[in-house]
Amino acid sequence: MSMNQKQKIFLTSIILITIIITSIIAYSITASSIQKSDKIKIVTTFYPLTYITQQIGGDYVEITQLIPNNVEIHNWEPSVSHIRATEDADIIFYNGAEADHWMEDEILPALSTSKNRTIVETTDDLTLIINNEQEPDNEHDHDHGLYDPHTWISPYMVKQQAEIIYNTIVTVDSQHEEYYTQRWHNLEQQFEQLDTAYKNSLARTSKHSIFVSHSAFGYLANRYNFIQQGVIGMSADEQPSALTIVKLIEEMKKDKKYVLYVDPVYSSSYIQTIQTEVQTQTGQSVMVLKLYLMLGPIDGLDYLEQMQTNLDNLQTGLGAY
């Protein structure tokens, strides 16, 4: 055997041993990660769906939320990393009604078809409000959906979405049915209590419409009988024009309504302009109150607490008695 042959055999052995060791390591990593993640992997698009999924799924779900908390959702766009994060999911929950239209447009078509996933548009069977809002600004040119997408703001609407989430989780993981069912009943009860509180507290009011920065409260207005007038409309991504502001100030003066609603997620410097203008022109003090869009925990409040605060502030603005 020449020195060269010996070297070859030696090298081949080293390579073979390396391959064997690498395979063993790879196998044990795979085996341990299978054990670790026997939780159901769920991808949600934004906060309320995450909150509901967590309330129902508890210890047996691992949730990945695509839109970060407290980010404007209408013009958010996913990146390649979001497609990768969705690839692994056992269940995908999205709102639908165009709130997270990129799920159907960009993410779902990009996923591999080899994995078995349950994909649920949680508003699919709900009775939605037609979005017939007149845009206050015409320079708006992106697409608006046919329906008002803001279902999660209403306890009555979102309870139906939550029931669909519950049914899906129980079907995918029937082993823990009792656990999920108990948690679902608890959540269902909280939504029902909120719906009743909204109905009772807003049954008698001295005013019947409110001025909001973004028209996201249609499902509340529809169910509890008031009217929302939006400054920047349904898509909420732009500043209102000077003309819009002037018209709004005239309406407030005419209707003698001195409350404006804002959400902390949106920039609202124009709200101060309106507030100052109306105060100067009428001598009346104008109140600025919060109506949360519930796109993340904020002001130390979680989803249901924000729903309760919205009710408190609506009672004030509508003059409930």
| Stretch of 45-53, 54-62, 159-167, 208-216 contacting Zn ion, by CB under 5 A | 208-216
CB of 43: closest distance to Zn ion in angstroms? Answer: 21
- Closer CB to Zn ion, residue 233 or residue 317? 233
- Closer CB to Zn ion, residue 26 or residue 130? 130
Scan residues 243-302 and list those touching Zn ion (CB under 5 A): none
Interaction mask 113-152, Zn ion, x per CB under 5 A: ----------------------------------------
DSSP classification of residue 240: P
How many amino acids of this chain bind Zn ion (CB under 5 A)?
Answer: 2
How many whole angstroms separate alpha carbon 161 and alpha carbon 125?
Answer: 9
Half-sphere exposure of 84 (CA within 13 A, CB side): 3
216 forms part of the interface with Zn ion (CB under 5 A): yes
3-state SS, residue 34: helix
Scan residues 218-247 and list those touching Zn ion (CB under 5 A): 236
CB of 95: closest distance to Zn ion in angstroms? Answer: 11
CB of 208: closest distance to Zn ion in angstroms? Answer: 22
How many whole angstroms separate alpha carbon 161 and alpha carbon 159?
Answer: 5
- Closer CB to Zn ion, residue 236 or residue 260? 236
The pair phi, psi for residue 208, each rounded to 5°, is: -125, 0
- Residues present in the chain in total: 321
Instruction: List the structure tokens of 26.
Output: 């790879």
Query: Would you put residue 261 in left (φ > 0), alpha (ψ -120 to 50) or beta?
Result: beta
Question: Applying CB under 5 A, which residues contact Zn ion?
Answer: 216, 236
